[in-house]
Amino acid sequence: MIKFAEKPLEAVLELLGQRGVYTILRSLQNGSLRFGALQQVTALPPRTLSLRLKELEELGLISRTEHHEVPPRVDYTLTERGRGLEPALEALARWEEKIG
């Protein structure tokens, strides 16, 4: 895996190329979401979703907030750095429309 510290862009692209990651980022543009919700929109098995979320956290694109309640509740939010990717995500979305 490419290290963010060395090649931030390549690291992000590598992660964006993984299943569900683009969908996760786009979904979070509308606000925080919980693990379960992300599972539904991405259709990823829990193990895989968990891995992707951890990687997104490591790259500083999302943050994890744990609410100490019963039942447990955790939600994920775009960070400032994550929001910085929005123009790129938008450009990609527009490209898709054009050729779809």
**Using CB under 7 A as the criterion, which residues of the chain lie in contact with DNA when the complex forms?**
1, 18-19, 34-37, 39, 44-48, 50-51, 53-54, 64, 66, 71-75
Query: Per 3-state DSSP, what percentage of the chain is helix, strand, and coil (rounded to 5)?
Result: 55, 15, 30
- Residue 69, both tokens: 């309640």
**Least distance to a second copy, CB of residue 70, Å:** 37
28-67 residues near a second copy, rule: CB under 8 A: none
Q: Which amino acid is at 100?
A: G
Tokens of 12: 């992000």
Tell which positions 66-95 bind a second copy, by CB under 8 A. Answer: 81, 84-85, 87-88, 90-95
